[in-house]
């Protein structure tokens, strides 16, 4: 090999090494979004203590963002590619997305996707990774959600439709009374273990959204119904409420293979609402709404209801105030002075 050829080969090797180094440097300064999403989700789990359900939802929202926003890109999306124009295209495409039934996403649902993206961008800003300013993301305006709740006579009709001569009936009655008495979210109810619930003191603590603990109080009737159900149990499984299916799943060391799921409880609620002739759509959350509405109509203050529901923001609790506005006429007639 001649000296000139050797020199040329050396230059090629040096150029290749330089290009590799530049690529690595660029990748470090301007990382790929798909890698950053994984790091952000790990951050939520480890540093923020978010639940696995929250992380699962955030992954869904951010992967949909990546899918829609990168449609026009030939190369993988980097953090610096997220700008105002890309956000505009993403929001337009998100607004046109349809589910399996052909329904478009509601403004409220689109808001969840944008909240996840905004959180992701705040994470990038904290790490000083150049990308879109998270403050530029505006959430879509959505109407105040319609609150569906049960009047006490409707709830009683449902309770009366439950056959208490079976273990399943005793379980289902306990579920209804516990939800209405406590205002628990369905996920919180499913996660309850027998040891968690103090039926004598009728109070216990649950870990709700954002891994925040809050006290739960139940009435004597709910405590009694739970005791009745537990008296029929002859197992050592930890879950408070079990699936009575003949095919409950594969046994595991955790003992959770027979734990009722949120979907199972939704079906139970819907079943008895139909049996009782209730025409409105009744879900586990309807009972949570009924709990809050009952408290407010009987004179509880909004701040106390906020604490009992585990709302971090009072504005979330204020969705119930228009329901209790029917009392305003009575207040006006009782306390307002009339002129002669």
Q: Exactly one of 78, 173, 288, 289 is catalytic; name it.
A: 288
Contact 168, 244 (CB under 8 A): yes
Phi, psi (rounded to 5 degrees) for 242: -115, 150
Q: % helix / strand / coil in the chain, to the nearest 5?
A: 60, 5, 35
Contact 306, 212 (CB under 8 A): no
- Would you call 151 a catalytic residue per the annotation? no
Q: Angle of helix 284-297 relative to helix 262-275, nearest 10 degrees?
A: 70
- Would you call 288 a catalytic residue per the annotation? yes
Q: How many angstroms separate the Cα of 108 from the Cα of each of 111, 141, 236?
A: 5, 8, 42
Burial class (CB in 10 A: 0-12, 13-18, 19+), 282: buried
Q: Exactly one of 59, 209, 214, 233 is catalytic; name it.
A: 209
Give the Cα separation of 286 and 300 in Å (integer): 19
Contact 111, 142 (CB under 8 A): yes
- Would you call 209 a catalytic residue per the annotation? yes
Contact 127, 77 (CB under 8 A): no
Q: How many angstroms separate the Cα of 338 from the Cα of each of 47, 329, 332?
A: 60, 14, 10
Q: Exactly one of 185, 202, 259, 289 is catalytic; name it.
A: 185
Beta bridge partners of 215: 205
Catalytic residue annotation: 185, 209, 285, 288, 311, 320
């Amino acid at each position: 090999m001649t000296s000139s050829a050797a020199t040329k080969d050396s230059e090629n090797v040096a150029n290749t090494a330089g290009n590799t180094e530049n690529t690595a440097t660029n990748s470090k300064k301007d990382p790929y979004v798909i890698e950053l999403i994984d790091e952000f989700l790990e951050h939520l789990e480890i540093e923020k203590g978010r639940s696995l359900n929250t992380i699962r939802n955030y992954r869904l929202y951010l992967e949909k963002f990546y899918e829609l926003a990168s449609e026009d890109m030939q190369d993988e999306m980097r953090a610096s590619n997220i700008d105002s124009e890309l956000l505009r295209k993403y929001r337009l495409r998100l607004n046109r997305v349809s589910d399996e039934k052909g329904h478009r996403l509601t403004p409220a649902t689109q808001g969840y996707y944008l909240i996840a993206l905004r959180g992701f961008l705040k994470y990038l800003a904290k790490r000083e990774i150049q990308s879109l300013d998270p403050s530029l993301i505006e959430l879509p305006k959505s109407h105040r959600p319609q609150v569906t709740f049960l009047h006490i006579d409707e709830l009683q009709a449902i309770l009366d439709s439950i056959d208490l001569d079976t273990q399943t009936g005793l379980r289902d009655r306990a579920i209804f009374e516990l939800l209405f008495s406590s205002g628990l979210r369905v996920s919180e109810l499913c996660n309850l273990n027998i040891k968690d619930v103090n039926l004598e003191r009728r109070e216990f603590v649950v870990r709700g959204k954002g891994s925040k603990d809050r006290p739960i109080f139940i009435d004597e009737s709910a405590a009694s119904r739970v005791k009745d159900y537990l008296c029929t149990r002859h197992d050592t499984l930890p879950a408070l409420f079990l699936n009575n299916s003949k095919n409950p799943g594969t046994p595991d060391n955790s003992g959770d293979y027979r734990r009722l799921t949120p979907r199972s409880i939704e079906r139970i609620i819907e079943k008895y609402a139909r049996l009782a002739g209730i025409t409105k759509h009744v879900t586990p959350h309807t009972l949570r709404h009924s709990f809050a509405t009952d408290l407010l109509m009987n004179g509880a203050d909004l701040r106390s209801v906020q604490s009992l529901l585990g709302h971090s923001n009072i504005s979330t609790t204020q969705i119930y105030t228009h329901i209790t506005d029917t009392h305003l006429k009575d207040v006006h007639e009782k306390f307002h002075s009339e002129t002669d």
